Amino acid sequence: MTKTPAFLLIPLLTALGAPPARAAVLPPVVVTAARERSYAPAEVELGGLAGGATTVLDVPASISVFTRSALDDQGQRTLADAVRRDALAADAYAPVGYYQDLQLRGFPLDLGTGYRIDGLTVAGEQNVALENKSRVEIWSGTAGLEAGAASPGGVVDYVTARPADVRALTLATDARGGRYAAFDAGVLLGADRRSGVRVNAALEDLRPPVEHAEGRRRFASLAADWGFSDAGSLRFDVESQRRVQNSVPGYQLLGGTRVPPLPDPTRLLGWQSWTKPVAVDALNASLRLEDELAPGLRLRAAAGRSFLKIDDNIAFPYGCGSLSTFCSNGDYSIWDFRSAGERRRADDFVLSLSGDGKAGRASGRWAVGAESFARDVDMSSWIYDEVGTGNIFAPDAAVSASTSSAPAARRVLDHAQRSLFARGALALGRWELQGGGRLTLVRETTWDAATGAELAGRSDARILPAAAVLYRPGSASTLYASYSEGLELGGVAPSWTSNAQAAMPARATRQEELGAKREAGGLLLTGAVFRAEAPYEYVDAANDYVQRGREIHSGVELSAAGRAAPGLSLTASAAWLRAVQSGTGDPAYDGRDVPNVPRLQGALFADQELFFLPGAGVFAGWRASSPKPVLPDGSVAIAGWQVFDAGARWVFSAGAARVSLRLSVDNVFDVRYWRDAAQQYLFTGLPRTARLTATADF
């Protein structure tokens, strides 16, 4: 956002006060205004389709927001990169070169329902581009009322940047010779400037610090607004991305009982010259109408489609002979895995009415609406042939690819949700009561990819209530207590279990939370204490995937974002989380921590302006995690770790352009560590990585 300094009025006042007989011809005055940098969010709008954008202080939930400034300063291009600077989130199977998932409060997000763009659900099996996003909102713990059947961990919403008068070019490279170029251009139209268009485009030569993991990406998007009245607008968005990259597989436990020694993180395990990359073609489009039907009465309607085509390929190191883990000596089997022509489609439609009003000292807001969501998946019976063996301590042996060919893709999943929702808020003085509910009808059918036989058909209907009490000690502070219930469809047994492809029943979830928020001089401080529980799913000692007992997640979250002191901007967060298995009937599991959930996480990113060198600044980052259990019996865990980042930036004028240079180094001390243990796959953290970025704003 560009602010108009008061001194711009000086030439006008001087001209008005000048004697008419001696009008002086003054030299031109060139004024440049820096784009405001802010890590604190001005507003959030995950629930915007129902009730419009609101401030963080008005939401009784824990919210992490990555603003455009924070994303730019930290050099983030994917969500998985961004959340590594947020202790309130963690990886949940996020390999380099593959679509990446994350967990909130220890619950992995559902790729089918956990990710949204501008409030509309999209297929999660993609790395959503950030070039055209104004911010990314992560709502922890809110699922039922906001999203219907979804993970109890929460939801992620990408907010698209609206048209503006902007022209910017960004170029970047890294220590491995990767190349990146992005263009952002927009214009506001009409005398009232309520309409406009914005185009974003990016080309990227992907060269992560892992051998053979190269790839490429191209992206383009269009945002168009038509403001047909003072209170009415029609918004259209479409974005297309093709990402082609070799995927980096994880390691497994040795003999099922030991964590392997930390390997060279630049090695791509099991690499074969015939390995094809993972190719993901994504198209996300939406149309949104907003209008004021009468004073205080607003109509919102939105429809979106998300479509993915995926060719999934990898020389996959998995198991060892009859074992589902690596052998004790480091041997592993190499599988030729190919799944071509996968298709995923998500259609979402939301219609709502909202209003507000006052009666004496009381004021209220309300919203009612309906949502229809459908998701389908087409997939072939993939090729999964064992073609050789390797060893983690030896160079990868060359083996031959499989000669098998896969049939065409066919429908394997139909998922539909139909919902009616209502929400309201009543404020009286410093107190506010919020409440609502969603009636959700869920239907899902699955089929076998090879035979077309129906595997499972399940349906459920639930009312998902939510309620909260807020107290405002002052205009910049909020205390709240909230309760919510949710619904998540049960998981499907993995292919390596005894009951492979068996579908579990739907999981009813619940959560209680106490929180506090305060804005202080441009710094947003938040804290929350919560308890969430859900039926527990795991692989038991008999190698069956079961839903038995409960998992109970209790924790404390603290965060700060914004300007902490003159010239100092930061994001900081810390989380303590205890996720416990309970009531499984197996004493080896009960009371143990849920796998891949650390008890402690911390993150800090601080940017300090250098006052003696205008436009210059330095920044530093810190990320840390306590150990993570790998197995549900707690017998094996990966070690905790700490990583430090650093960099510098310089902003200066070059002719008509404002140029920003950023040099950043992640993992400055080149620490080796295991960062993720999802589904008993172990992924290393990336080694030291240096990037140089230049942005010119015209």
Q: How far is CA 484 from the centre of its chain?
A: 22
Closest by Cα among 145, 135, 86 to 526: 86
Tell me the C-alpha distance between 662 and 355, whole Å: 45
Asked whether residue 196 carries a pLDDT value surpassing 50, the answer given is yes
Tokens of 194: 């309520």
The DSSP-derived string for 455-495 is EEEEEEEEEEEEEEEEE-SSTTEEEEEEEEEEEE---B--T
Work out the burial of residue 329: count CB atoms within 10 Å of its CB; fewer than 13 is exposed, 13-18 middle, 19 or more buried: exposed
Closest by Cα among 644, 600, 639 to 106: 600
Q: What residue has token string 């909230």?
A: 482
- Considering the chain, what percentage of its residues have pLDDT values greater than 70? 94
Mean pLDDT of 106-110: 93
Q: How far is CA 286 from the centre of its chain?
A: 19
Cross-strand partners of 38: none
Q: Who contacts 93 (Cβ-Cβ below 8 Å, separation ≥6)? A: 100, 101, 108, 676, 678, 679, 681
3-state secondary structure 554-575: EEEEEEEEEEEECCEEEEEEEE
Kindly report the backbone phi and psi dihedral angles of residue 180, in degrees, each rounded to the nearest multiple of 5, phi listed first. Answer: -145, 135
Taking the CA atoms of the chain, what radius of gyration do you get in angstroms? Answer: 26
Asked whether residue 679 carries a pLDDT value surpassing 80, the answer given is yes
Tell me the C-alpha distance between 554 and 576, whole Å: 8
Asked if 284 and 228 count as a contact pair (C-beta separation under 8 A), the reply is no
CA-based end-to-end distance of the chain: 14
Asked whether residue 29 carries a pLDDT value surpassing 50, the answer given is no
Tokens of 119: 């409030």
Q: Could you give the 3-state DSSP secondary structure of residue 70?
A: helix
Q: How many residues does the chain have?
A: 698
Mean pLDDT of 663-673: 96
Residue 209 is classified by DSSP as: S
For 542-552, how does the pLDDT look when each residue is reduced to its tens digit (9 = 90+)?
888 999 999 99
For 313-350, how does the pLDDT look when each residue is reduced to its tens digit (9 = 90+)?
999 999 998 888 999 999 999 999 999 999 999 999 99
For 438-452, how does the pLDDT look when each residue is reduced to its tens digit (9 = 90+)?
999 999 998 988 888
- Considering the chain, what percentage of its residues have pLDDT values greater than 90? 74
Asked if 82 and 136 count as a contact pair (C-beta separation under 8 A), the reply is yes
Calculated CA dihedral for residues 587, 588, 594, 597, nearest 10 degrees:
140
Beta strands across the sheet bearing 107-108:
89-91, 102-104, 107-108
pTM beyond 0.75: the answer is yes
Tokens of 144: 């039922």
Tell me the C-alpha distance between 685 and 264, whole Å: 10
Kindly report the backbone phi and psi dihedral angles of residue 80, in degrees, each rounded to the nearest multiple of 5, phi listed first. Answer: -60, -35
Tell me the C-alpha distance between 411 and 218, whole Å: 28
Cross-strand partners of 185: 167, 199
Q: What pLDDT score does 30 carry?
A: 37
Q: What pLDDT score does 11 carry?
A: 32
Highest mean pLDDT among 305-309, 533-537, 679-683: 305-309
Q: What residue has token string 């919560």?
A: 530
Q: What pLDDT score does 549 carry?
A: 94
Tokens of 486: 């949710």
Q: Could you give the 3-state DSSP secondary structure of residue 243?
A: strand
Cross-strand partners of 290: 233, 300
- Fold entry, domain 48-697: Maltoporin; Chain A (2.40.170)
Asked whether residue 6 carries a pLDDT value surpassing 70, the answer given is no
Q: How far is CA 65 from the centre of its chain?
A: 10
Mean pLDDT of 76-93: 88
Residue 16 is classified by DSSP as: H
Q: So where are the chain's domains?
A: 48-697
Q: What pLDDT score does 451 carry?
A: 85
Residue 542 is classified by DSSP as: T
Dihedral class, residue 81 (left if φ above 0, else alpha if ψ from -120 to 50, else beta): alpha
Tell me the C-alpha distance between 117 and 105, whole Å: 21
Pairing, β 689-697 against β 657-666: antiparallel
Q: What pLDDT score does 46 carry?
A: 65
Asked if 2 and 38 count as a contact pair (C-beta separation under 8 A), the reply is no
Tokens of 613: 């060198």
Q: Could you tell me which residue, 45 or 654, shows the higher pLDDT?
A: 654
Tell me the C-alpha distance between 545 and 498, whole Å: 8
For 504-541, how does the pLDDT look when each residue is reduced to its tens digit (9 = 90+)?
888 999 999 999 999 988 899 999 999 999 999 988 88
Cross-strand partners of 566: none
Pairing, β 641-654 against β 120-121: unpaired
Pairing, β 233-245 against β 215-226: antiparallel
For 125-160, how does the pLDDT look when each residue is reduced to its tens digit (9 = 90+)?
999 999 999 999 999 987 778 888 889 999 999 999
Q: What pLDDT score does 47 carry?
A: 54
According to DSSP H, which parts of 398-456 are helical?
Answer: none
Element (H, E) at 536: strand 523-539
Of the listed ranges 15-24, 316-325, 411-420, the one predicted with least confidence: 15-24
Q: How high does pLDDT run on average in the chain?
A: 90
